[in-house]
Structure 1
Amino acid sequence: MELFGIRQVAVSWEYREIVQLVTILGMVLGAVLGIVVLKGMRGNMREVDNRMLVASGQFHELMVRHFDDWSLSPSERDVAILTLKGLSNAEIAEVRGKSIGTIKAQCNAIYQKAGVSGRTQLISFFIEELI
């Protein structure tokens, strides 16, 4: 305080005790409110997780329904699911143990049966259905 030229005023010990008591009460109140907010956020996160599970289940049902409508073979269903998950043709070929040519042919069959022109439209189709 001397560096800035601020003059110190003598304060009674009662005043100092009151200031310290108010400070402690403020800190305790802040901690309690922090715990309450964290518990509320935890409940909200559970609700979001539950909604995501519901959406995930609905998405699976939606996929199965469309795959049935399009009469996809079991191999085409597998390729379609991996495509929707974002895997490239090379990655799908590696996962399924098939050649890239076979995967490309299956993808083309899927796109034709679904009435879309490619991977992007297939993904967009399902996103649009969910929205």
Structure 2
Amino acid sequence: MGERAQFNSLKLVAALLFASGIVLVIDVAEEFRIALRDPPNVGVGMWLHLGFELIASFGVAVAFFEIVRRMRLTVTELETETDRLRRLRGDFDRFVNRRFEEWMLTSAEKDVALLTVRGLRITQIAEARNTREGTVKAQLSSIFRKVGVSTRAEFLAQVLDEFLGVTTEPEALPNRA
């Protein structure tokens, strides 16, 4: 279950607990009012019943406040993750643009390379750039030559591996023996 679904589930449970707690507190208050009006005629069973209802009311209140606490934590975690993702996207964009400069890509090649990194197909890139597929293919060939790769997969691996600091050199790979 995703974080948003969990949060919505917690909201529903909190609302149900709150409503149940209100009903329980009203019930306990009314029973206490009745018991206090005529204490000598109230038996031990009734006082025991009221004691258990008070304990149950306390339990519902504790559960409600715990759920509210967890909801606040979930919101804080979501905000933290959103901020982290925003920073990572910014880091990635700066990294990609720096690499594009190092590879001496033209402005058009940078656009095509970025759209390629974002996963668009040649037809989608051509549509987005209002150009022909043949032009995009030629630009991709030029990009691949400048980067030193021969396929889209190698290009994407080059960009992502460098960004993530991954290497394919055998001596740098972990020993899995």
Q: TM-score, normalised by structure 1?
A: 0.87
Q: Which residue of the partner structure matches residue 6 of structure 2?
A: none
Alpha-carbon offset, residue 130 of structure 1: 2.8
Q: Which residue of the partner structure matches residue 12 of structure 1?
A: 45
Q: Per the alignment, in what secondary structure is the counterpart of residue 12 of structure 1? A: helix
Gap regions ≥5 residues in structure 1: 1-10
Q: Whole-Å Cα distance in 1 between the matches of residues 59 and 114 of structure 2?
A: 55
- Is residue 105 from structure 1 mapped to residue 138 from structure 2 by the alignment? yes
**Cα deviations by residue, 1:86-120 (Å, 9 ceiling, x for unpaired):** 11001111111111111111011111111122111
- Is residue 126 from structure 1 mapped to residue 131 from structure 2 by the alignment? no
- Is residue 23 from structure 1 mapped to residue 56 from structure 2 by the alignment? yes
Q: Which residue of the partner structure matches residue 66 of structure 1?
A: 99
Q: Whole-Å Cα distance in 2 between the matches of residues 31 and 124 of structure 1?
A: 49
Alpha-carbon offset, residue 23 of structure 1: 0.9
Q: Per the alignment, in what secondary structure is the counterpart of residue 87 of structure 2? A: helix
**Cα deviations by residue, 1:4-29 (Å, 9 ceiling, x for unpaired):** xxxxxxx8111111111111111110
Q: Whole-Å Cα distance in 1 between the matches of residues 64 and 147 of structure 2?
A: 56
Q: TM-score, normalised by structure 2?
A: 0.65
Alpha-carbon offset, residue 126 of structure 1: 2.2
| Aligned length, in residue pairs | 121
